[in-house]
Chains A and B, each alone.
Chain A
């Protein structure tokens, strides 16, 4: 079974750093892009960025570039999303998802992690 399993909920203070993870299994992790999506409380989905584990090619939404860092360790089939200095406005649910693109044709985000809740509060 293809799945993405994310790390657990986090409660942090403003200014703290954080790295959350997304571990893939049941498919060739290196061969599919992994995207990160933010959902603020009661709001819609926001595409933050995407990484290709095979070569670490990374693309960011300009709205998030410089605010977060997306990385991957393909040896352990795990992608990461990290912050160096959290703000209260980073409070949200964060999802990772596999972006299926095969032989030059894209399909959409077909496998999703369960989500990681990040709460930033003093």
Chain B
């Protein structure tokens, strides 16, 4: 199985500042037939299910604010929140769906 490793495990950022979360996969998740990275990012607020933020490593899901952006390719990926808002306090998960089973990172807790 592909192992997904996120860093850091937790992160505290001031309101209005940039937050950066990293995700590394144990093998490439780049699907060569369409040149898309099968990597997603989810936000999970306390007591809520995860919410899809980013798919294909860098494409924002409909309705997701543009302060959220994803980057990276192959095995190294980053989720960036450009200007932290109070409602962004959550746990963030990366997810590779290149293989079955899909696998998730361990999650990164983002605090103010």
Chain B residues proximal to chain A, CB less than 8 Å = 1, 31, 33-34, 36, 38, 40, 42, 49-52, 55-56, 61, 93, 95, 97, 100-107
Label chain B's interface by main secondary structure: loop
Tell me if B100 and A108 are in contact (CB < 8 A). Answer: no
Measured in the bound complex, the distance between the Cα atoms of B102 and A112 in whole Å is: 16
Residue on B nearest A114 in the bound complex, by CB: B49
Residue on A nearest B103 in the bound complex, by CB: A47
Verify if A45 is at the interface (C-beta below 8 Å from B). yes
In the complex, number of A-B residue pairs with CB atoms less than 8 Å apart:
65
Q: Which residues of A contact B105 (CB under 8 A)?
A: 44
Measured in the bound complex, the distance between the Cα atoms of B99 and A62 in whole Å is: 13
**Stretch of A10-18, A74-82, A99-107 that contacts chain B:** A99-107
Tell me if B102 and A35 are in contact (CB < 8 A). Answer: yes
Verify if A50 is at the interface (C-beta below 8 Å from B). yes
Q: Which residues of A contact B34 (CB under 8 A)?
A: 104-105
Determine the interface band of chain A, counting residues with CB < 8 A from chain B. 20 to 34
Q: Which residues of B contact A88 (CB under 8 A)?
A: none
Measured in the bound complex, the distance between the Cα atoms of B107 and A46 in whole Å is: 11
Q: Which residues of B contact A97 (CB under 8 A)?
A: 49-50
Chain A residues proximal to chain B, CB less than 8 Å = 35, 37, 44-47, 49-50, 59-63, 95, 97, 99, 104-110, 112-115
Measured in the bound complex, the distance between the Cα atoms of B96 and A106 in whole Å is: 11
Tell me if B101 and A62 are in contact (CB < 8 A). Answer: yes
Q: Provided the pairs A105-B36, A109-B95 are in contact, do residues A50 and B100 lie with their beta carbons within 8 angstroms?
A: yes
Q: Provided the pairs A107-B55, A108-B97 are in contact, do residues A47 and B38 lie with their beta carbons within 8 angstroms?
A: no
Q: Which residues of B contact A59 (CB under 8 A)?
A: 100-101
Mind listing 5 A-B residue pairs with CB under 8 Å? Answer: A35-B102, A62-B101, A63-B101, A105-B36, A108-B95
Measured in the bound complex, the distance between the Cα atoms of B82 and A70 in whole Å is: 40
B40, B51, B55: the one contacting A112 at CB < 8 Å is B51
Chain B nearest CB, measured from A36 CB (Å): 11
